[in-house]
Amino acid sequence: MIDAIMNTHYARALPALLEGLQLTVLITLIGLLLGFVIGGIFGLGRLSKNKLIYGASSVFVEVVRGTPILAQVLFIYNGLTKDVIGMNIDPFTTGVIAIAINSGAYIAEIVRGAVYSIDKGQHEAGRAQGLTSRQTMRYIIWPQAFRRMIPPLGNQFIISLKDTSLFSVIAVSELLYRGQQYYNATFAFFETLLLVCILYLCVTIPLSIILRRIERKLDV
């Protein structure tokens, strides 16, 4: 019985697919951490009263959100060649950069919306206590806004995780690419792709459940 199970395509493909899943999650985590920094900068820039900062932030957000991530990753990998930037970018780094930039644009809107949703009275309360605008943002507005960012940030993680499947076009050894390698060698299309989908769901479904619980707990 055990030998029969081990000889199935599911068992044979699983080790390589799990390695691909690890890389998928790693790219997503690193990319989103960088994306949160980018999103925080441009999200606050979208709230700035300085026309230059507001304009530059808006252009970044609209350009990135208005173009598909597949085009972005191909541009970074093939467009930014050694002749352009003086160095080649490897597939893994390209994937991380693409997730960071793409998620950063969407996180910028999450940040802007969360900060904007805080009652203006909070700003006035901070000023009444003698805090500067920057201190008011840091100690009063940002902690409240961050609570409201958690559910949409979790949703962005799920979106970015699935977006990594597009990176197979530049040979990033993520989950789907590993699956393609296996079924190209064995022609076991159904078994391999079914297992790929199941592994994606093993990450996204528990995370969705956790996010719903957090949302109810935070009452946001």
Average pLDDT, the chain: 90
* pLDDT, mean of each 10-residue run, the chain (220 residues): 61 93 96 97 93 96 96 93 81 96 97 88 77 81 88 94 94 94 93 96 94 78
Is 2-218 assigned to CATH 2.60.120.10? no
d(CA 211, CA 120): 28
Contacts of 169 (CB under 8 A, 6+ apart): 70, 73, 74
Looking at residue 71, its pLDDT comes to: 95
Whole-angstrom CA distances from 203 to 16, 31, 217 are 17, 17, 21
Looking at residue 38, its pLDDT comes to: 97
Looking at residue 100, its pLDDT comes to: 97
Yes or no: say if 31 and 99 are a contact pair by the CB < 8 Å rule. Answer: yes
Structural domain spans, the chain: 2-218
Query: pLDDT, tens digit, for every residue of 66-86?
Result: 999 999 999 999 998 777 888
Contacts of 168 (CB under 8 A, 6+ apart): 174, 176, 177, 180
